[in-house]
Amino acid sequence: MAERNIAHLTATEARAELEAGTLTSLELVDACLARIAERDSDVGAWAHLNAEAARKSAQEADARRAAGKSVSPLTGIPVGIKDIIHTTDFPTEYGSSVFAGNQTSEDAFIVAQLKAAGAVLLGKTVTTELAFFGPGKTRNPRDLERTPGGSSSGSAAAVADDQVFLALGSQTAGSTIRPASYCGTVGFKPTFGYTSRTGVLPQSEPLDTLGGYARSVDDIALLFDAISAHDPADTGMAPGNRPSLVDALAEPGPKVPRFAYVRSPGWPQAEAAMKAAFDDFAGSFGARAEVVETPLPAEFDEILRLQQIVQFSDIARNYGPIADANPDAISAKLKEIIAEGRTFSSSNYAAAREEQESLYEALCAVLGNYDAILTPAATGVAPIGLASTGSPVFNGLWTYLGMPCISLPLIEIDGLPVGVQLTSARGSDAALLRVAKWMTTDKGARG
């Protein structure tokens, strides 16, 4: 009998085996480390690893469990941390030589929560340059000649390649959802303000959102239940406790869900094969779901540019001084965006911010009639080459509107993944995960 691949388990499956005593946390960590040793010279998902510290943390988790002490759902589960998130145990270099060896004195709020939950911090995953378009060393594990997407390149690739069970990412335009689509894993960006950004490299305060990667919708719930405590220091966070996503997934999902099939303003930039595959997917549900092709209101035609005005203006404000002080260490693309961001006036920025709410209100009529919007996660399969990380045109508008999004690896074109993106109203994260779980079970697309 062939030896089973422990590293390929979902986090939920791993947790169940830890609780049953059929696996130890040390075995989980060692399985991840073995996979990294086998594959990461090709994939390049990790910026920093500490195998000794990870094994020690796993042993401590095992000892706690063996002693009958209380444990949390994430106790002993290996997790990767995107290298824009501050960690005292590893350098935080933001994917830039400007910050080589940078060591922070405090953990990010979200990292402190992971530690309190007993997770094993396996290491820091590669990010693009300052979480923008400048590629890092990571390659797509499904095809090493293709981009993994960005900016959360290493996190998506590591989870997709069985190198870690869960990983943190972030999204200001499409930095969580697009890599999930390209690498063929589950990626989730919650409602704006759902998770803390204290101790995370700021790019655009009105847009920045922490996201995550996993191999199942249940895993996403497990991760976000552990990292969504309210942080008073992050004024963008919605106050109050979050309902348990794990408990929400235990509730029945919709018997016959309703989806608004939205092609969005990015549709003309999509590849023909993706368009055909997505049309086929949207038409595949039969009586199991109601899928209604739904155009966006006319005022959405300029939404991608509005998102760019906000993002690029803030990049100029936050990254401009870094580029000015280190011109030889900053990519030409980032310099170009900083220059463009500096062309927008304060009134341009204010108007783009105001449109966030008016456009969201215009969309509410659609959101109120459907369980979720069904839309592509990317323009097609991961592009060949490592010089760019692909286009966020299917992501930026939903980020701009502050809505939760999830990418599900349910379509393949010529053996390569394309994500199915679901998005819904702000604050409907639990309901979105329920319908996403429906779609990934026999009741949904596989029925």
Percentage with pLDDT > 70 across the chain: 98
Asked whether the predicted pLDDT for residue 442 surpasses 80, the reply is no
Does the 6-249 domain belong in CATH 3.90.1300.10?
yes
Say what the pLDDT of residue 28 is.
Answer: 98
pTM, two decimals, is 0.97
Amino acid at 39: R
Mean pLDDT, rounded, for 184-192: 98
Amino acid at 57: S
What are the pLDDT digits (tens) for 82-109?
999 999 999 999 999 999 999 999 999 9
Asked whether the predicted pLDDT for residue 364 surpasses 90, the reply is yes
On the CB side of 382, CA atoms within 13 Å amount to 35
Q: Catalytic positions, please? A: 82, 151, 175
Mean pLDDT, the chain, integer: 96
Asked whether the predicted pLDDT for residue 445 surpasses 60, the reply is no
What are the pLDDT digits (tens) for 340-362?
999 999 999 999 999 999 999 99
Q: How confident is the model at residue 252 (pLDDT cuts 50, 70, 90)?
A: confident
What are the pLDDT digits (tens) for 108-156?
999 999 999 999 999 999 999 999 999 999 999 999 999 999 999 999 9
What are the pLDDT digits (tens) for 1-56?
457 899 999 999 999 999 999 999 999 999 999 999 999 999 999 999 999 999 99
Say what the pLDDT of residue 444 is.
Answer: 56
Mean pLDDT, rounded, for 195-219: 98
Say what the pLDDT of residue 447 is.
Answer: 39
